[in-house]
Amino acid sequence: MFYIRFFISIIQEGIINEEEIALIGYMTFVVLMLSVMVIIFFVSFQKRKNKLLLDKIAQQKAYDAEMSRTQTEIQEATLKHVGRELHDNVGQLLAYAKMQLGMLGAKINPEAQSKLQETTKIVADSLEEVRALSKSLNNDVLLNMGFVDSLQNELNRLKRMSITTATLEIEGDAHPLAHRPHELVLFRILQEFFSNAVKYAEAESMTVMLDFQEAQLLITASDDGVGFDPVSAEKGSGLINMESRAVLIGANYHLKSAPQEGTTLRLAYPFPKEN
């Protein structure tokens, strides 16, 4: 209002004429239009820049997911091959050795029978371990056995190694997952956890809890090993694989540990919603 009164007073005093006022108004309008165009251009540029950035992030996520999926497939193919080799070659050799020892038992003197029986037991235990290990490595066998039975087989194998107690507890109505390959991914995560507990944590006891809820499967695995500090500890390939596999199937992953307090792994796998 001040400027309007100012221009009116100028006109009345005859300082500037109407043509000059029209020119000033025209120039003001042009400046305003240029300002609006600059603002629109800047906003459009920012939107396009943000869209390109979001697209780049989405592409990177898709690339990382594809790389993780490809790596998982390669690992599974390798484990499957090793499992078959153990079953078909090493297993057969041990079975043949066990049979030969049984035949030899009828031909040696009684004094050597005790040592032969001890050797036969070692070969039989080795054969059982090879068969159990070949099952835990072959994804086809794991899928046929099912998630719960595969876990129980792995825990039984741990008890024959260095773990004193390894228990599996189940709450709720245990059932196969709707997406069966995800059972294999969850099993591999737990298998990596077991391996770390045996090799590094010097654990003597292992407990796995499966809680089948309505909307999700909660998995809690814990050991009584030496533990570690997750903040200062350097992440190896095992820990990285565990977390990346969990992300791959949309499971919530949490690993808790402290020196001399053991390690606990928690996985929350959401069930797919029914259409």
**110-162 per-position pLDDT tens digit:** 667 777 777 777 777 777 777 777 777 777 777 788 899 989 988 988 887 77
Identify the residue whose tokens are 């995800």: 182
Cα–Cα dist 203/255, whole Å: 16
Cα–Cα dist 217/147, whole Å: 12
Confidence at residue 62, expressed as pLDDT on a 0 to 100 scale: 64
Which whole number is the average pLDDT over 184-199? Answer: 88
Confidence at residue 263, expressed as pLDDT on a 0 to 100 scale: 93
Strand locations in 59-204, DSSP E?
165-172
Contact predicate 91/117, CB 8 Å? no
**What region, left, alpha or beta, does residue 250 occupy, with left being phi > 0 and alpha being psi -120 to 50 degrees?**
left
- 16 has a pLDDT exceeding 60: no
Supply the DSSP string of 206-253, one letter for each residue: EEEEEEE-SSEEEEEEEE-S----TTTSPP-HHHHHHHHHHHHTT-EE
pTM, full prediction: 0.64
pLDDT digits (tens, 9 = 90+) for 199-218: 887 888 999 999 999 999 99
Give the number of other Cβ atoms within 10 Å of residue 246's Cβ. Answer: 21
